[in-house]
């Protein structure tokens, strides 16, 4: 997870800059590349989740994903051109990105023999590990670029990160069928698996989780605009605020499982969404005052729960299909982007930054309340206790 997150932490913030400034691709062209890559990522995540559940051949799928990321990064590093960029970002990196959901599926299987009190803490801990490189590596890249490093050196580093990931699955991960957990494969056909993913009880919860996660994505979209619009604030304040928020997210992710044990997944998500809604409501109004810095721990602590517990919730939603549960993560991330974009546009049209904060707080909070209401009394899991592995 750390190696893969190092890859994404390096490439994600700079992909548009590389396309436009590095390869001369238009902004509209980059937007097309981004959308096509996102759509292919959804398709690839669905296919990988269904096939790995059917066959139980999870290590091979993980090796393929890591290899795709390696080939894509190496291609751009060795043959820097618009064509190599398009192939990497539209086809190879989306295949590599399926590893994110696969790792949660693998962790679900690997922790299946643990007591629930331990197993429930695994997905939030993995999500915390994914956040660590963003705190460490981005400042290092900033220093490297100030020292004169070329922007395309990112792809050299990503090649190394992908090599580490691939090596783990080639050399260290147990072979399929020789793990200490049972994973014989479901034998379900592609049609049966897709029907399970399209079931109303699943789709509705995916929509609600997407709406809840949209709050954090909306914050990322609007943060720079809100802070720099306040008198006396600049880009340095944006970077400092973001760093403080992430610094509080990580430890909260590590203990989010305990909160879920006390309140249940949906109860803990609702409580965190309520706190995050308060942050979103206040954020545009205090951006220019000292109170901004008091909001950073509030945002980080609540976002840590909002970002991590849905990972475990989605896994328990399809507990006997860990691969399909992992593919749902790609669905909710994509859905959250769409909802966040819609809330941002609506907020600007209706009243500016203050309205963005209002919509970004209340709409996700309403989704969290509805999710909690739907799953009340459903037992230890988000639906029923029968979905849990012994």
The pLDDT, as a whole number, for residue 125 is: 84
Q: Which CATH class is domain 193-380?
A: mainly alpha
pTM for the predicted model, two decimal places? 0.75
Question: Are 2-180 and 193-380 in the same CATH fold?
Answer: yes
Radius of gyration of the chain (CA): 21
Distances (CA, A) of 85 to 8, 67, 165, 226: 15, 17, 21, 32
Q: Running DSSP on this structure, what letter comes out for residue 183?
A: -
Q: Tell me the mean pLDDT in the region 105-132.
A: 80
Q: Which residue has the tokens 């499982």?
A: 257
The Cα–Cα gap between 113 and 183 comes to: 12
Helices 322-350/27-55 angle, 10° precision: 150
Q: Specify the CATH superfamily of domain 2-180.
A: MFS general substrate transporter like domains (1.20.1250.20)
Q: What's the whole-number average pLDDT of the chain? A: 83
Element (H, E) at 333: helix 322-350
The pLDDT, as a whole number, for residue 387 is: 38
Give percent above pLDDT 70 in the chain: 87
pLDDT digits (tens, 9 = 90+) for 27-85: 778 878 888 888 888 888 888 877 777 776 778 888 999 999 999 999 999 999 999 99
Hey, what are 182's tokens?
């049972």
Task: Single out the residue of 281, 270, 272, 349 nearest to residue 304, CA to CA.
Answer: 272
In the chain, where are the structural domains located?
2-180, 193-380
The Cα–Cα gap between 7 and 11 comes to: 6
Sequence-separated (6 or more) residues with CB below 8 Å from residue 260? 120, 124, 268, 309, 312
């Amino acid at each position: 997870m750390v190696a893969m997150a190092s890859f994404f932490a390096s490439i994600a913030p700079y992909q548009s800059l590389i396309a436009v400034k590095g390869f001369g691709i238009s902004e509209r062209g980059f937007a097309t590349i981004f959308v096509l890559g996102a759509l292919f990522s959804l398709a690839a995540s669905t296919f990988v989740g269904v096939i790995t559940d059917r066959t139980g051949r999870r290590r091979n799928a993980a090796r393929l994903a890591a290899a795709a990321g390696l080939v894509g990064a190496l291609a751009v590093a060795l043959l820097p051109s618009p064509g190599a960029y398009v192939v990497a970002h539209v086809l190879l990196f989306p295949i590599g990105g399926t590893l994110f959901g696969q790792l949660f599926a693998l962790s679900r299987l690997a922790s299946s023999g643990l007591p629930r009190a331990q197993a429930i803490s695994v997905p939030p801990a993995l999500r915390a590990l994914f956040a660590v490189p963003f705190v460490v590596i981005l400042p290092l890249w900033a220093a490297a670029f100030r020292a004169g490093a070329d922007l395309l050196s990112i792809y050299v580093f990503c090649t190394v990160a992908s090599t580490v990931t691939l090596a783990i699955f080639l050399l260290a991960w147990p072979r399929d069928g020789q793990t200490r957990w049972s994973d014989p494969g479901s034998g379900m056909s592609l049609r049966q698996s897709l029907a399970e993913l399209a079931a109303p009880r699943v789709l509705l919860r995916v929509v609600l989780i997407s709406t809840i996660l949209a709050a954090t994505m909306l914050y990322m979209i609007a943060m720079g605009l809100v802070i720099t619009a306040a008198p006396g604030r600049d880009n340095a304040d944006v970077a400092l605020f973001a760093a403080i928020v992430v610094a509080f997210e990580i430890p909260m992710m590590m203990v989010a499982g305990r909160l879920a044990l006390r309140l249940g997944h949906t109860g803990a998500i609702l409580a965190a969404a309520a706190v995050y809604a308060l942050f979103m409501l206040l954020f545009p109004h205090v951006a220019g005052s000292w109170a901004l810095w008091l909001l950073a721990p509030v945002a980080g602590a609540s976002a840590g729960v909002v970002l991590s517990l849905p990972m475990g919730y989605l896994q328990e939603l399809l507990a006997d299909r860990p691969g399909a549960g992992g593919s749902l993560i790609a669905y909710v991330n994509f859905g959250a982007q769409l909802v966040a974009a819609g809330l941002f546009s609506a907020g600007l049209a209706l009243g500016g930054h203050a309205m963005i904060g209002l919509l970004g707080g209340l709409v996700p909070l309403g989704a969290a309340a509805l999710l909690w209401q739907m799953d009340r009394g459903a037992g230890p899991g988000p639906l029923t206790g029968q979905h849990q592995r012994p």
